[in-house]
């Protein structure tokens, strides 16, 4: 079945360091891939997404490229800030051809907690 | 900018008590979802509703019931709460085939 595996945390970095959070997936068909971020005490917010192979999602300095050949969607940021401290979730949904509720059935990784120190 | 609103935000229940978590969205979305979040487990889908009048089981439906009251509202009911249902619950919604938007979460403790 479909699944998402992301690197376990916590990850602790100094401000302005380079960030990579690994995410690999197993899926049939053509899933869409997502990164969500959860700040302390809040719900999840979409950070970026990619809907087909070789697409690059980007937002707020974060990037991730949909690599079908390696079934990966690693999250990167060149220079992290203290305000980036949060839990990051990689997720996939079923293929573009699924409609209705099934398209929104996201399968989440377990989350990676990032702490950025000044 | 309400988006997805869920209530209550915090609740403590005794084992065997019942309660309903309420969720409403004002984005005219077709689909709505209930997830639970547990430490080290990520989010798991409990139930979803593809459209008004339909509901389907997700990954972990046991011990829960849902009602899609209308297009805006989707409630989650615990008929007889158990300590294993201590969790953070998230309601979410999406327009068909598009981004999912989450509520801020409901922290439930069953003692």
Please write the tens of the pLDDT for every residue from B11-44: 999 999 999 999 999 999 999 999 999 987 888 9
pLDDT 10s digits, A30-63 = 788 999 999 988 889 999 999 889 999 999 999 9
> Mutate which of A3, A33, A43, A47 to disrupt the B interface (most B C-beta within 10 Å)?
A43
Collect all residues of chain A within an 8 Å Cβ-Cβ radius of residue B50.
100-102
Interface membership of B3 toward A (CB under 8 Å)? no
Instruction: Taking residues B43-57, report their average pLDDT.
Output: 90
User: Three-state SS for A102?
Assistant: helix
The CA distance from B24 to the nearest CA of chain A, in Å, is 15
The answer to whether residues A26 and A2 touch, using CB atoms and an 8 Å cutoff, is: yes
- The whole-angstrom separation of Cα A83 and Cα A15 is 10
- The whole-angstrom separation of Cα B31 and Cα B75 is 13
Of B64, B41, B17, give the one whose Cα is nearest residue A110: B41
User: Three-state SS for B85?
Assistant: helix
Interface membership of B57 toward A (CB under 8 Å)? no
The CA distance from B85 to the nearest CA of chain A, in Å, is 18
Which residue would you say has higher pLDDT here, B40 or A82?
A82
The reported pLDDT for the residue numbered B105 is: 93
């Amino acid at each position: 079945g479909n699944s998402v595996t992301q690197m376990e945390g916590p990850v602790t970095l100094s401000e302005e360091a380079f960030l990579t959070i690994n995410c690999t997936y197993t899926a049939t068909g053509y899933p869409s891939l997502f990164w969500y971020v959860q700040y302390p005490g809040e719900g999840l917010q979409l950070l970026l997404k990619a809907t087909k192979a070789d697409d690059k999602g980007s937002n707020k300095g974060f990037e991730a490229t949909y690599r079908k050949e390696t079934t990966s969607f690693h999250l990167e940021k060149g220079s992290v800030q203290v305000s980036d401290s949060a839990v990051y979730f990689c997720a996939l949904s079923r293929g573009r051809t699924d409609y209705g509720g099934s398209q929104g059935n996201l399968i989440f990784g377990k989350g990676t907690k990032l702490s950025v120190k000044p | 900018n309400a988006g997805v609103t869920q209530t209550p935000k915090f609740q403590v229940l005794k084992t065997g008590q019942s309660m309903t978590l309420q969720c409403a969205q004002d984005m005219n979305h077709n689909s709505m979802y209930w997830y639970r979040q547990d430490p080290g487990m990520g989010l798991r889908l409990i139930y979803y509703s593809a459209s008004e009048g339909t509901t389907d089981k997700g990954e972990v439906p046991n011990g829960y019931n849902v009602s899609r009251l209308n297009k805006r509202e989707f409630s989650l009911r615990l008929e007889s709460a158990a300590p294993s249902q201590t969790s953070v619950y998230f309601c979410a919604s999406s327009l068909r085939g598009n981004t999912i938007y989450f509520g801020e979460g409901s922290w439930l403790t069953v003692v």
